[in-house]
Amino acid sequence: MNILIVDRSGAIPVKKYGGTERVIWGLGKELSKLGHRVTYLVPEGSKCDFATVLTLDKSLSLDIQIPDYIDIIHLNYNPKIKLNKPYLITMHGNPPKGEEIDINTVFISKNQAKRYNSNLYIHNGLDWSEFSTIDLHSLRSHYHFLGKASWKVKNVFGAISIALKSKNTILILGGEKWTFWNLKRGLKYILNPKVIFKGMVDNTTKMDIMQKSKGLIFPVLWHEPFGLAIIESLYAGCAVFGTKNGSLEELITPEIGFTGNSSDEISNAIKEFNYNPKYCHEYALKHFNSKVMTEKYLELYKKVLNGAYLNADTPKYIEEYNKISKFI
């Protein structure tokens, strides 16, 4: 197959932060290994040694940028236009109420699919060979937060509060210390010596920090569609502690972490948890790898090429399922 992977998030491969970019990199690499011809249509600055790279021009209509030789298009955002070739869309975010969602949309967790009246989902997977080898026997002395700390719904101050309640040090990956927002809302936290901000880190630094961490504290205040921070932390041998919003209950089993609706509940779980870095690492390797993900997408490509729609009905926002659990 000639497969076009389209994304507008950022250049590939990523050097520091990268969500969708890491997912589509692993997808394209696996497709290439299986003998398919892969072409990326992605932002300027991208390069790849196993696929053709075309630069996405956001000022032009998408349909005129699609090469004639392409058999199927795999979009990673909703283009909101009709395309003349077979396609599917992976929904990496949460469309707002009222947004039209395409019938060939694939969600990235069971929870996300349910919230949009669908049962079609494929969990994200990463190419773990791109990550450093983890020392599962290293001394683990702290906890960490991983995500865009400036984004309120990621709840970095909630993570800090939980860490301090459980009498632990926390390293913040993905956020700067001296920001206006931190000074205004979290001065008591950023001055605490047990709270260490590491800023934006590259993948090697991130893994080095996480392999010395007991766990990810991830008390998100929104419906996390998937959460790459979760599976990256598991790969590093970390347990995961979070809220019950979005995909978290689905991804975090009792053997690898805990989900709860209050900071007291989560901080108590941190104190009492039976930590097993090897199990967490192997769980990520087995369930959230790019090969497993790619095989599932290939089945959907075949359906689309045969003229089938992927969903029985057009997905739509379901108010009842999109309510956020209260967190105290």
Confidence band (pLDDT; 50, 70, 90) for 203?
A: confident
Domains contained in the chain, CATH given: 2-127+291-312 (3.40.50.2000), 129-286 (3.40.50.2000)
Taking only the tens place, the pLDDT of each residue in 212-241 is 999 999 999 999 999 999 999 999 999 999
**Element at 158 (helix H, strand E):** helix 156-165
What's the mean per-residue pLDDT of the chain?
A: 93
Residues 272-285, buried b or exposed e (16+ Cβ, 10 A)? ebeeebebbbebbe
Contact criterion met (CB below 8 Å) for 142 and 212: yes
| Angle (CA) 243 247 251, round 5° | 90
Q: For 295-308, what is each residue's pLDDT tens digit? A: 999 999 999 999 99
pLDDT at 271 > cutoff 90: yes
Residue 166 has pLDDT above 90, yes or no: yes
Other beta carbons within 10 Å of 217: 32
pLDDT at 180 over 60: no
- Look at the block and give the residue holding tokens 């399922």: 321
Rg of the Cα trace of the chain?
Answer: 20
Residue 40 and residue 48 in contact, taking contact as beta carbons nearer than 8 Å? yes
Enter the pTM of the model: 0.93
pLDDT at 255: 96
Looking at residue 181, its pLDDT comes to 64
> How confident is the model over 277-292, as pLDDT tens digits?
999 999 999 999 999 9
Average pLDDT over residues 263-271: 96
Interval 96-139: pLDDT, tens: 998 999 999 999 999 999 999 999 999 999 999 989 899 999 99
pLDDT at 310: 97
Q: Tell me, what's the pLDDT at 188? A: 67
Q: Is the pLDDT of residue 328 over 80?
A: no
- Residue 113: the pLDDT is 98
pLDDT of the residue at 223: 96
